[in-house]
């Protein structure tokens, strides 16, 4: 019998690992709780009524069709028995010879009172659809709300976290405001609608050079976002955000993009979890005491140049290649290779015609960066039909100042 490689998670890391093992002399079993791979970088566009879920999610079976040595199973993974080399799933136990844990991360609400309960997070399709429904419901409610005070609370949209997700979300919300007010709610006053970006540190976009991040912040402000640096959220209740400064911000919507930690599945695996609950791995991406277990992506903690590698898709995909390579090497009786990260740069869009990019040491902003962002994201989307439909939706919305998916569906 051929050795069995079990991969937990069909995100950027797990999917890439499965593909990289296409020709390996092994049976590959890929597990995920969903039947689709999600293109998370565009999740904020689902949350702001620009794209449909199916346009950024592709069935795993469709992606890996034709890979003879692969089986996909939609199941929930409950735990890992490292001694017995068994993955415990909701549809029974599954033994492995090699394990690649690519279970990703979940939103970290930092234990702040009310935030996990009443705030929104943006990690999965359902959460994105919930944000879309909620934001549109706030506009509907405001349209026939008599009290000006309540109306401005309904129309205050706060985003916590100044990383790429928070920046892109705030930019998309402020554009949605323009589209909705002009087209669907001509009776509402633009000055009543606020988009507030709360960042605890003194700058946005920590992965970018400070000057570039400042340009991005400036652009957000010109688009109408209230960028609040040094704003530390302490609690959220009764639709009021309380900051450490004592300030209170009435806002019916709080989208939390201010932190992530590794899934509990990963944390449980580490003797001593690293920062954000991630599992410290050897440079070969193996666990120190279990050479047959690899951890990659957001779930793994590895330092490069003295800093922990960021929780980003490129890290996960590159780690997947290395983990797959090391499994092939182990099967061939060869020594493993260490992981080496090649930074592909970073990009964040700030809405119509505006983005910031930092690629190979070069910073650029504005329209050129925006075009690069569009092309990169379109190419990375899986499935030609998705690319076509997303392109049509983007072009339509761009030229007609529209949004495709302004539906409020029951939660």
Q: Which residues bind its own copies (CB under 8 A)?
A: 34-36, 52-55, 57, 59, 61-62, 65, 73-74, 91, 125-126, 129, 136-137, 140-141, 143-144, 183-185, 385, 388-389, 392-393, 396, 402, 404-410
Q: Pick the catalytic residue from 127, 149, 168, 335.
A: 168
CB of 70 to its own copies, least distance (A): 12
CB of 185 to its own copies, least distance (A): 7
Residue 41 DSSP label: G
Tell me the C-alpha distance between 349 and 374, whole Å.
Answer: 9
Tell me the C-alpha distance between 72 and 37, whole Å.
Answer: 12
Nearer to its own copies, 322 or 393 (CB): 393
Closest CA to 278 of 116, 103, 31: 103
CB of 75 to its own copies, least distance (A): 8
Tell me the C-alpha distance between 227 and 350, whole Å.
Answer: 13
CA 206 to chain centroid, in Å, comes to 16
CB of 58 to its own copies, least distance (A): 9
Nearer to its own copies, 55 or 107 (CB): 55
CA dihedral 390, 395, 398, 399 (to 10 degrees): -150
CB of 408 to its own copies, least distance (A): 5
Please give the structure tokens belonging to residue 202.
Answer: 């003194």
- Strand, helix or coil at 387? helix
Nearer to its own copies, 144 or 307 (CB): 144
Positions of E strands within 86-132: 86-89, 92-95, 98-101, 105-107, 120-121
Nearer to its own copies, 73 or 328 (CB): 73
Nearer to its own copies, 59 or 280 (CB): 59
CB of 127 to its own copies, least distance (A): 10
Residue with tokens 């916590």: 160
Nearer to its own copies, 125 or 217 (CB): 125
Nearer to its own copies, 325 or 397 (CB): 397
Tell me the C-alpha distance between 411 and 319, whole Å.
Answer: 36
Residue with tokens 């400064």: 245
CA dihedral 332, 63, 10, 339 (to 10 degrees): 40
Tell me the C-alpha distance between 320 and 16, whole Å.
Answer: 6
Positions of E strands within 39-113: 57-59, 70-74, 77-81, 86-89, 92-95, 98-101, 105-107
Helices 313-331, 12-20: crossing angle, 10 deg rounding: 30
Residue with tokens 């015609």: 353
The sign of the dihedral angle between the CA atoms of 72, 47, 56, 9 is negative
CB of 73 to its own copies, least distance (A): 6
State the pairing for strand pair 260-262/105-107: antiparallel
CA dihedral 130, 133, 137, 138 (to 10 degrees): 60
Nearer to its own copies, 11 or 277 (CB): 11
Look up 321 and say whether it is catalytic.
no
CB of 96 to its own copies, least distance (A): 16
Residues involved in catalysis: 168
């Amino acid at each position: 019998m051929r050795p069995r490689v079990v991969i937990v998670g069909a995100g950027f890391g797990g999917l890439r690992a499965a593909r990289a093992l296409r020709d390996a002399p092994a049976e590959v079993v890929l597990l995920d709780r969903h039947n689709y791979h999600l293109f998370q970088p565009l999740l904020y566009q689902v949350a702001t009524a620009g794209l449909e879920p199916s346009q950024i999610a592709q069935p795993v079976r469709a992606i890996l069709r034709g890979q003879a040595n692969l089986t996909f199973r939609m199941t929930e993974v409950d735990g890992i028995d490292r001694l017995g080399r068994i993955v415990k799933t909701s549809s029974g136990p599954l033994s492995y010879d090699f394990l690649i844990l690519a279970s990703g991360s979940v939103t970290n609400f930092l234990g702040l009172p009310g935030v996990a309960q009443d705030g929104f997070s943006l990690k999965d399709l359902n959460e994105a659809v919930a944000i879309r429904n909620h934001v549109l419901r706030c506009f509907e409610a405001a349209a026939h709300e008599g009290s000006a005070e309540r109306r401005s609370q309904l129309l205050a949209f706060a985003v916590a976290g100044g990383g790429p997700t928070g920046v892109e979300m705030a930019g998309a919300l402020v554009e949605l405001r323009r589209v909705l007010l002009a087209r669907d709610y001509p009776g509402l006053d633009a000055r009543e609608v606020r988009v507030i970006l709360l960042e605890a540190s003194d700058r946005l976009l920590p992965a970018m050079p400070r000057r570039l991040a400042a340009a991005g912040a400036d652009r957000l402000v010109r688009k109408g976002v209230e960028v609040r640096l040094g704003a530390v959220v302490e609690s959220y209740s009764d639709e009021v955000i309380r900051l450490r400064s004592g300030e209170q911000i009435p806002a019916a919507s709080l989208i939390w993009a201010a932190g992530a930690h590794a899934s509990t599945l990963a944390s449980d695996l580490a003797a001593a979890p690293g920062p954000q609950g991630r599992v410290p791995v050897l440079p070969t991406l193996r666990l120190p005491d279990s050479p047959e277990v690899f951890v990659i992506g957001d779930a793994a903690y590895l330092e490069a140049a003295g800093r922990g590698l960021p929780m980003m898709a490129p890290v996960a995909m590159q780690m997947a290649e290395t983990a797959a390579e090391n499994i092939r090497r182990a099967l061939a009786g060869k020594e493993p290779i260490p992981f080496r990260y090649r930074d592909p740069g970073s990009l964040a869009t700030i809405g119509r015609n505006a983005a910031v990019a930092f690629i190979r040491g070069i910073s650029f902003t504005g329209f050129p960066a925006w075009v690069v962002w569009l092309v990169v994201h379109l190419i990375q989307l899986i499935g030609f039909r998705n690319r076509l439909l997303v392109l049509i939706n983007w072009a339509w919305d761009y030229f007609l100042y529209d949004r495709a998916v302004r539906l409020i569906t029951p939660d």
